[in-house]
Amino acid sequence: MDPIVVVGASLGGLSALDALRTGGYDGDVVVLEAASGLPSDRPPLSKQVLAGTMDPDAARQPLAAKLEELRADVRWSTVVESFAASDLRLRLRNGEELQAAGVVVATGAAPRTLGGPNLAGVHVLRTLEDCLALRADLDVGPDRVVVVGAGFIGAEVAATCRELGLSVTLLEGAPAPMARVLPESVGSFVADLHRAHGVDVRLGVGVDGLVGADGRVSGVRLGDGTTIAAQVVVVGIGVAPSTGWLAGSGVPLGNGVTCDETCLAVPGVVAAGDVAEWFNPHFGERMRVEQWEHAIEQGAAAGRRLLAGDGPGEPFASVPWFWSDQYDRKFQMAGRPAATDEAHVFEGSFEEQRFVVAFRRGDRCTGVLGVNRPRHVVQSRMRLAESLAWEPIEALLS
Ligand SMILES: Cc1cc2nc3c(=O)[nH]c(=O)nc-3n(C[C@H](O)[C@H](O)[C@H](O)COP(=O)(O)OP(=O)(O)OC[C@H]3O[C@@H](n4cnc5c(N)ncnc54)[C@H](O)[C@@H]3O)c2cc1C
């Protein structure tokens, strides 16, 4: 019997493996991973590990300790180069071919870059190696760090750098941080939070390119022709789903791997985590979610879907959940709001830096975000899991 092949040994892939075993699958499973060892847990890489308050070895994925028990043939430093969905055959970079009985696509996403020449001092942040390289540059004590992109990763890196006592400029092309995913009023709160901690936040500015001397970055050139001098630049302008190896495979690709509501892409092929775009029946829309807990939950759903074989499988209906730590503020969010949703503030205020904001679209609540309000977000998530109706959330938070 051919093995089930899991591509990617991070949250989504290992969670799928766990679900296969939990679901009683006793056959062979091969896990293929491009990295040379178990990828570390990523959230601490922009927070405690970067700050130096957590040992890198402690940033372990939840299933790290259980890996042996899951009885998989795990192959590190193994890159899948191409795939044919018609006969479930994978080709590896080392020339080997592998016949699969089923495939879990869990290859995540890779950071977008600014392009241009390779300059020392310019960083992205995805892996432990990225984190340690950035940390080494921060340890030198640069006069200024410029963070390009005020999404969650950029904002966390800016906060960590400030806590290390460094001068930081945070650049964002949109009129507010997180403008792709949150209404402007909430993004403006994030900008104010960073300004209150001494970050030079510049919004609505385009980056024209990087300036370097002797192979090392010396500044960031803005669209208006001015340059900000910087010895370290962190590029946090989002990620692209890692689907290059699936080009021409017969697996449908759009914003990632296009799956149905059960996480199935084509017969025998499921996808999970940052790489997967699926129809979330709870929200009635297609989405691709780049969040820690989501990758685990969807990995499990994808594993179960493979076990369902030719049957219809179970829809993966979820209320995504996310957190972000910036300074002493803990952001938590349940749901999937859009920038165009109305934002209603409950329980506190932006001025207090402690509040709950619920997002409204017509008669629906699309999400609830709390800053230092964990109980309200947990309760809201449970309510949203029952229904996305606005009234129950309003009643809960009023
Ligand atoms: C710095 C950082 C901080 C974060 N903080 C938070 C947070 O606070 N809260 C939160 O909810 N989420 C956070 N996230 C997001 C969360 O970590 C991701 O959503 C999660 O890691 C996605 O898991 P995944 O398994 O889908 O993909 P990944 O973790 O990207 O893993 C994919 C794996 O596939 C491997 N791979 C790729 N291509 C191939 C190939 N062709 N062949 C073989 N292997 C391949 C890669 O090497 C990689 O190990 C953070 C992410 C980062 C980078």
Find the residues whose C-beta lies inside 6 A of ligand 1.
Answer: 7-13, 32-35, 39, 42-43, 45-46, 79-80, 106-109, 125-126, 153, 242, 245, 273-275, 290-293, 295, 322-324
In this predicted structure, what is the pLDDT of residue 340? 96
Distance, CA of 185 to CA of 176 (rounded, Å): 8
Task: Please give the number of the atom of ligand 1 that sits closest to the Cα of 321.
Answer: 11
Query: Looking at ligand 1, which atom is closest to the CA of residue 81?
Result: 41
137, amino acid identity: D
3-state SS assignment for residue 87: coil
Residue 116 has what pLDDT? 87
- Rounded CA separation 340/184 (Å): 9
pLDDT on residue 180: 87
Contacts of 387 (CB under 8 A, 6+ apart): none
Q: Which of 271, 261, 276 is nearest to 312 (CA)?
A: 261
In tens digits, the chain (398 residues) has pLDDT values of 999 999 999 999 999 999 999 999 999 999 999 999 999 999 999 999 999 999 999 999 999 999 999 999 999 999 999 999 999 999 999 999 999 999 999 999 999 999 888 999 999 999 999 999 999 999 999 999 999 999 999 999 999 999 999 999 999 999 999 998 999 999 999 999 999 999 999 999 999 999 999 999 999 999 999 999 999 999 999 999 999 999 999 999 999 999 999 999 999 999 999 999 999 999 999 999 999 999 999 999 999 999 999 999 999 999 999 999 999 999 999 999 999 999 999 999 999 999 999 999 999 999 999 999 999 999 999 999 999 999 999 999 99
Return the exposure string of 276-300: e unless at least 16 CB atoms fall within 10 Å of the residue's CB, then b: bbbbbebbeeebbbbbbebbbbbbb
Domain parsing of the chain, residue ranges: 4-110+240-307, 113-237, 328-397
Model pLDDT, residue 224: 93
DSSP line for 156-177: HHHHHHHHTT--EEEEESSSST
- Asked if residues 268 and 302 have their Cβ atoms less than 8 Å apart, the reply is no
- Give the three-state DSSP class for 221: strand
Instruction: Return the CATH number of the domain spanning residue range 328-397.
Output: 3.30.390.30
The CATH topology of domain 113-237 is FAD/NAD(P)-binding domain (3.50.50)
Using the mean position of ligand 1's atoms as its centre, give its distance from the Cα of residue 295 in Å.
8
Instruction: Tell me whether domains 4-110+240-307 and 113-237 share a fold.
Output: yes
Write the class of the CATH domain 4-110+240-307.
Answer: alpha beta
Between the CA of 126 and the centroid of ligand 1 the distance, in Å, is: 7
pLDDT at position 174 is 96
pLDDT at 282: 98
